[in-house]
Amino acid sequence: MPKRLSTALQEPPVMWVIVFINCALFGLVWSKDPTISAQTLREYGAQFNPSIWAGEPYRLLLAGFLHGSLTHLVMNNLSLYFLGKLLEQLLGSRSFFILYILSLLAGSAASLFFMPPMAVSVGASGAIMGLAGALFALLLLDRRGRFLTARPFGRYLFFVMVLFYLVIGKIFPVINTSAHVGGFLMGCIFGIFFWSRIPGEKVPRWVGSALLLSSVVGLSVATLYGMNPKNTHAWHLYQGLEGYQKGNNQDAVRHLKLAIQQQSSKQALRYLGQLYFYTKQFRKSAEIYAQLLKKSPSDFGNWYYRIVSLHKSKQPKLAEQAYQKASAYLKKQAKSRSWLRSSRHHEQEMLWRWAHLLAAHQKEKQALLYYQQLLEQFSNNVSLHNEKAWLLLTATNPRYRNSALALRHARIATDRTENPPAGFLDTLATALFLNGRTKDAIHQAKRALRAPGAKEIMPHLRQQLQRFKAGLKKKASHPTTHKP
């Protein structure tokens, strides 16, 4: 081994061991599933709170050494290298190891409380933010530069970067901000504790010890409480989602209502609204979507379901009012085009939203014209084919229903998609059923139950399958007779 490389590996040994573990586990997961799906990560120990509640606390530690992609692994290991090399040399290997593990566990514990119950979380970012937190505290305390020599610009740049990583979850919801914040706070506390050990500094030794001890005790208590969350918002939300996906509608409604009583989260409201909608309780679904729109007034998915629910529940005046409000939001968005999007992309998005809105408000002729206009420009867009097919199947005005044409569009959507989502297969199954091909419809409906995205619309998919099976029985009991 070259002398320089040998020296580099010996200087911060703990940091290099962690890098090796991260890479080894990534290789192990990748060898089983090159796509590194959420399900595979769960099997290898990712943080999935319901599994932790069921008695698998090791996930709180192991998840910090797993990664969801090569980019994720490289970025975290690079951050670990630059921060870890500096801090392990400054703190010593034993203190560095304690800092890393405490920060990792603090991030995982925070995720027990603030991460959505069905989310899967992996990565070393909580521990790395702990390293950043320790360095942050040391830079603030070491004003004289006795141990850390850094130019003012470098200090400010580091502080800005830390702030960015603490709020990045607001920009990219897929990032687990709770782990970042938990790890960072633990790192700051450890940094103060370490500084209190330096003779002659202003932070008394007992203050650092008391601060670290109280944080460790608090972390332990919070972790134990988070592992037994019965009757909390997260627990009721999880039970509600389980009922939603398994067809236990009464349990789902009860738990989702209890979750909303404790915390009126958009996720709980959305699933309750969907459940009411799919079980044809349209007045209730309209009320839930009204609450969602107060939280997200520009969400056109919520406008769509509210307007449809109002029409289905025979409230045309309220439906017209909702349509006018949604139209106003859409016109406003059309005028304020983002600089990140091309004019062509923006035009497509606006037309698409208008088509949705018009379809919801039973203006099917105009909606179909918009879909046709979009398909003339973007003929390879499979989602457009699927949505036009669904409108041709479900139009309230019989003049605009065309199951044969819908079947053509539905086939284009599924045939041109490598792994068709549940919504595409559901459209195809419905088209087949309305074209008299009931057995084929049942086959596609069963495929939809196993397809990506099935959990989101599971109540609807179950109802569809029951409908098709009932149609097959009816056909069997009334066979077509042929005259000689």
Give the DSSP letter of residue 336. S
Calpha distance 235→250 (Å, rounded): 16
The torsion angles phi and psi of 47, rounded to 5 degrees, stand at -75, 110
Q: Is 41 exposed, middle or buried (0-12, 13-18, 19+ CB in 10 A)?
A: buried
Q: What is each CA distance from 193 to 128, 145, 190, 223, 452, in whole angstroms?
A: 18, 18, 5, 22, 48
* Active-site choice (67, 103, 121, 180): 180
Q: In terms of Cα–Cα distance, which of 103, 71, 23 is closest to 175?
A: 71
Q: What is each CA distance from 119 to 46, 55, 238, 319, 352, in whole angstroms?
A: 10, 17, 10, 35, 30
Which pair of structure tokens corresponds to residue 455?
């959990």
Other C-beta atoms within 10 Å of 72: how many? 18
Query: What is the residue whose two structure tokens read 């030794």?
Result: 205
Calpha distance 30→20 (Å, rounded): 15
Beta bridge partners of 47: 121
Q: What is each CA distance from 322 to 291, 300, 306, 358, 391, in whole angstroms?
A: 13, 11, 8, 12, 20
* Active-site choice (95, 103, 121, 125): 125
Which pair of structure tokens corresponds to residue 183?
């790890």
Calpha distance 151→258 (Å, rounded): 53
Range 195-198 contact pairs with CB under 8 angstroms and sequence separation of 24 or more:
195/137, 195/138, 195/141, 195/142
Calpha distance 128→107 (Å, rounded): 10
CB 113 within 8 A of CB 178: yes
180 catalytic residue (yes or no): yes
Q: What is each CA distance from 365 to 53, 176, 222, 235, 429, in whole angstroms?
A: 51, 44, 57, 45, 24
Q: Is 421 helix (H, G, I), strand (E, B) or coil?
A: coil
Q: In terms of Cα–Cα distance, which of 446, 458, 453 is closest to 241?
A: 458
Q: Which H/E stretch holds residue 309?
A: helix 300-312
Residues with a catalytic annotation lie at 125, 180
